[in-house]
Amino acid sequence: KVLVIFRWKSTRTVKKADRKRFRKVFRKRKFGEKPQTPEFKFMTDEELVKALKDVEIRADKKLQMPPVLPVRKEIDDVFICDTILKGYSESKFVFTDISYGKNDRDRIIVVREPNGTLRKANWEERSRMNEIYFPRPGRKLWMPTMFKGELLLKDLLTRKEYLFILDRACLQFEPDDPDYVRVTTAVYNHINEESEFNEIRSTRHYGSLVFYLIINRNIENLLSENLETNRLQEAVWALDLYNIIHLESKCDHKYVK
């Protein structure tokens, strides 16, 4: 019960810390898709009010923050080792439950090794099988080259392609995937070091960045940028969230008010 309240309070405070800017929320994204043709309409005052409310709802959906999770544990569960099957084949056999209604996380996937061992599929094998049978739009079967080497990622960071990296990471990885954590952490650290917070404001990634910095007790640059750009209320909300997460903290924001 306490955990639910904590999550609700912290998520609500994170949303407060990022004010919506519709031009940024509905920006063009680099997904290789053909941009839609703008549509112009004449509206009455009532229709305009309704349309603005609809835009607000759509913006809230687009600003839904990706989950912030710890790195998942490796799967190392062996059912049985049938030595009688050893040498029967040089290849692994993967058995996947493709029943409808199953969750990708809960779907039963097992592997029979050439030595006769029957075990649960590891995360990489699970990801590959799920993508083969139930492909997700934008997700590749193999890791995109941009995530493989540190030099490529560093080049994108130098070019301030933060949103492109984060959006692509959300498409490619699960939020507890070690590679997702590695990539997003590199982006958050670079943004913090360069004080480039405004580059991802009014996007769904800003809340995750703030949460990451607060969890790691590293909000000095964020607060400094808030104060220098006259975002006093955002600084207050960041300190509120800091106090929610670090209950032992003696942090006070009265001086900001």
**180, part of any domain:** yes
**219, part of any domain:** yes
**89, part of any domain:** yes
pLDDT band at 160 (very low <50, low <70, confident <90, very high): very high
Residue 55 DSSP label: H
Same domain, 173 and 104: no
**61, part of any domain:** no
Same domain, 220 and 188: yes
Q: Give dist(CA 247, CA 245) in Å, integer.
A: 6
Same domain, 128 and 181: no
Same domain, 151 and 221: yes
Is a pLDDT exceeding 60 seen at residue 139? yes
Same domain, 103 and 190: no
**10, part of any domain:** no
Same domain, 125 and 157: no
**256, part of any domain:** no
Same domain, 229 and 155: yes
**204, part of any domain:** yes
Domain boundary (99, 133, 167) is at 133
Range of the domain at 231: 145-245
Q: Give dist(CA 238, CA 13) in Å, integer.
A: 8
Same domain, 156 and 238: yes
Same domain, 214 and 167: yes
Residue 207 DSSP label: H
What average pLDDT does the segment 36-46 reach? 79
pLDDT band at 8 (very low <50, low <70, confident <90, very high): very low
Counting the structural domains of the chain, the total is 2
Same domain, 111 and 153: no
Chain-centre distance for alpha carbon 237: 21
Same domain, 102 and 182: no
Closest residue by Cα to residue 16 from 161, 207, 203: 207
Q: Is 156 helix (H, G, I), strand (E, B) or coil?
A: helix
The whole-number pLDDT of residue 54 equals: 80
Number of other residues whose CB lies within 10 A of the CB of residue 144: 13
Same domain, 99 and 157: no
pLDDT band at 189 (very low <50, low <70, confident <90, very high): very high
pLDDT digits (tens, 9 = 90+) for 50-90: 877 787 777 667 677 888 888 999 999 999 999 999 988 89
Q: What mean pLDDT is reported for the chain? A: 84
Is a pLDDT exceeding 80 seen at residue 235? yes
**230, part of any domain:** yes
pTM for this one?
Answer: 0.78
The whole-number pLDDT of residue 25 equals: 58
